[in-house]
Amino acid sequence: MSEADILIITAASIAFLHTVLGPDHYLVFTALGKARGWSLPKTLRVTFLCGAGHVLGSVLLGGIGILAGAELARLMTIEGVRGNIAGYALLAFGLVYTVWGIRKGVRDRAHTHVHTHGEVVHSHEHDHHGDHTHVHDQPAKSSITPWALFIVFVLGPCEALIPLFMYPAAQNSMGLVAIVATVFGVVTLLTMLLGVTLTFLGVERFRIISPGHYAHAVAGASIVICGSAISFLGL
């Protein structure tokens, strides 16, 4: 087995462990997806978007570092700072989302009225904090939540990727650098998607986060736990 083969296998293994051991790579998306009523395909699309930003951020930093001749220690310091920012940003996002979820749960005690339009009988869920009206064929509202997550994950580093870059870079093998980056990125994304799929289906099966007044608060608390694990435990 050649050195290149060993490096590629190492990149794939570290990418898998890096993703599995970091609960923010999948639990965050599952919690938000269930709370916001996203389908599994939509949750996976958001996961892929954030995961791609997560990997490409480190690839870009590593590429710039290699071209600039930066030392490994300097690049790792930058990645460490990015990691701290991302961890606290995720924690802050979770806290804000939890508070918003609690307020929403208290405020929006919705109930259902059954009524008729001609021969059509149906029901509408509403609360009493606005006009007592309902709308048919109401367009779906856009949400800033996926983009907020995207920003957090772009800031979040893949610390393990930078050292993997340096060996082939020292050998002036830019082709191997590209292969290592590709393998690391693909394995990371596939593991994230698999993790989200399994946890999403598990939550659905056991109704851990069921639709209700406080589903958003539960999702926010899950994000706080993930942010705390990153910020204080280094996961």
DSSP secondary structure letters along 138-201? PPPPP-SHHHHHHHHHHHS--TTHHHHHHHHHHTT-HHHHHHHHHHHHHHHHHHHHHHHHHHHH
Q: In this model, does residue 183 exceed pLDDT 90?
A: yes
| Burial of 1 per CB tally in 10 Å (0-12, 13-18, 19+) | exposed
What mean pLDDT do residues 47-66 have? Answer: 86
* Span 88-100, average pLDDT: 90
The answer to whether residue 64 scores a pLDDT higher than 90 is no
**28 sits in which H/E element:** helix 27-35
Q: What is the mean pLDDT of residues 93-102?
A: 89
Q: Residue 132: pLDDT above 60?
A: no
The CA–CA distances, whole Å, from 69 to 32, 74, 115, 208 equal 41, 10, 71, 49
Among 17-26, 61-70, 75-84, 141-150, top mean pLDDT goes to: 17-26
Q: Is the pLDDT of residue 27 over 80?
A: yes
Dihedral sign from CA coordinates of 19, 22, 27, 32: negative
Name the residue among 82, 94, 92, 11 with its Cα closest to residue 53.
82
More confident residue, 136 or 196: 196
* Percentage above 90 pLDDT, the chain: 24
Q: Compare 38 and 135 and report the one with higher pLDDT.
A: 38
Beta bridge pairs of residue 226 = none
Distance CA(17)–CA(47), nearest Å, equals 18
Whether 110 shows a pLDDT value over 90: the answer reads no
- By CB atoms closer than 10 A (0-12, 13-18, 19+), residue 4 is middle
**pTM of the predicted structure, to 2 decimals:** 0.75
Is the per-residue pLDDT at 198 higher than 90? yes
Average pLDDT over every residue of 67-75: 72
Say which amino acid occupies 217: A
* Residue 199 CA neighbour count, 13 Å, CB half: 24
- Across residues 158-173, what is the average pLDDT? 77
What mean pLDDT value characterizes the chain?
80
pLDDT for res 14:
92
Assigned token pair, 234? 């280094």
